[in-house]
């Protein structure tokens, strides 16, 4: 077991298990954690003994998104922590299973758009709060969300910023299945081992066709530019009032 900046990784039965382990902060992601996750995903993708990647969160929730204090480290350049992470989640060519328990917010939800199998509970609470934070969504979600749930719902979730449940996410097509809350991690492992048992060459070919990551990188960069601009405007407004 490795532990790097609240990101714990281990390998079992061909499954690379990446656990976000900052439960005291609801697994909100700091800049070092963004970097550690990107490095872990790339390492898993390169290892011959890894056939699938499973992502889980420690504690009561999956991930509260970007740690708001870390916005002090914006704007972000292409080589910085958040853009590196965003491109990494789009680049993974091995199957990715994400088990979402409790709640997921922001990047904790947009990351799901890059997964191959998402398991959650019917009563999990999800939210894309970007509009209320005064920033643009990220992770190519402005492209991928409408493909997953349809344009009217994508507008509702991104423009309205309202909460929705795991049951709704499954009904709309954002996640693959719901399971009892107490069984989320076990079901995630079950699905990860299932994908790890498949022919890796054929699985990768299917994923390449279903998930053409080269298409997403331009949108990721465009979204980051807009977030940088929004943070800059907010900073100027704050300075003008001081």
| Number of folded domains that form the chain | 1
* CATH number for the domain that contains residue 138: 3.90.226.10
Asked if residues 119 and 188 have their Cβ atoms less than 8 Å apart, the reply is yes
Enter the pTM of the model.
Answer: 0.95
Which residue range(s) make up the domain with 173? 2-241
Q: Residue 228 half-sphere exposure, CB side, CA atoms within 13 Å?
A: 13
Torsion over CA: 99, 104, 107, 112 (sign) = positive
Contacts of 204 (CB under 8 A, 6+ apart): 93, 94
Quick one: what percent of the chain has pLDDT higher than 90? Answer: 88
Beta strands in 113-176 (DSSP E): 117-120, 125-127, 164-165
Q: Encode pLDDT of 104-118 as tens digits.
A: 999 999 999 999 999
- 3-state secondary structure (DSSP) of residue 19: strand
* Helices 81-91, 31-46: inter-axial angle, 10-degree rounding: 30
Strands of 103-105's sheet in order across: 103-105, 125-127, 164-165
Which of 106, 94, 140 minimizes the C-alpha distance to 26?
106
Divide the 242 residues of the chain into consecutive groups of 10 and give the mean pLDDT of each group. Answer: 74 97 96 96 96 97 93 90 97 97 98 98 98 95 96 97 97 97 97 97 94 89 94 82 70
């Amino acid at each position: 077991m490795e532990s790097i900046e609240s990101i714990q990784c281990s390998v079992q039965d061909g499954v690379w298990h990446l656990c976000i382990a900052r439960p005291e902060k609801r697994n909100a992601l700091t800049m070092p954690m963004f970097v550690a996750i990107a490095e872990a995903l790339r390492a898993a993708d390169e290892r011959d003994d890894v056939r699938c990647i499973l992502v889980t969160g420690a504690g009561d929730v999956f991930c509260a998104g970007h740690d708001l204090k870390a916005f002090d480290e914006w704007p972000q350049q292409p080589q910085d922590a958040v853009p590196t992470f965003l491109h990494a989640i789009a680049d993974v060519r091995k199957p990715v299973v994400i088990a979402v328990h409790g709640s997921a917010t922001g990047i904790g939800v947009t990351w799901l758009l890059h997964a191959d199998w998402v398991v959650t509970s019917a009563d999990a609470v999800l939210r894309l709060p970007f509009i209320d934070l005064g920033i643009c969504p990220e992770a190519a979600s402005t492209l991928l969300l409408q493909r997953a749930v349809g344009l009217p719902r994508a507008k509702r979730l991104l423009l309205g910023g309202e909460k929705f449940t795991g049951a709704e996410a499954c009904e709309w097509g954002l996640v693959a299945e719901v399971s009892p809350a107490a069984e989320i991690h076990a079901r995630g492992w079950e699905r990860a081992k299932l994908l790890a048992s498949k022919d890796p060459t054929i699985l990768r070919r299917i994923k390449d066709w279903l998930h053409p990551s080269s298409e997403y990188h331009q949108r990721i960069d465009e979204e980051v530019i807009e977030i940088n601009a929004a943070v800059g405007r907010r900073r100027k407004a704050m300075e003008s009032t001081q």
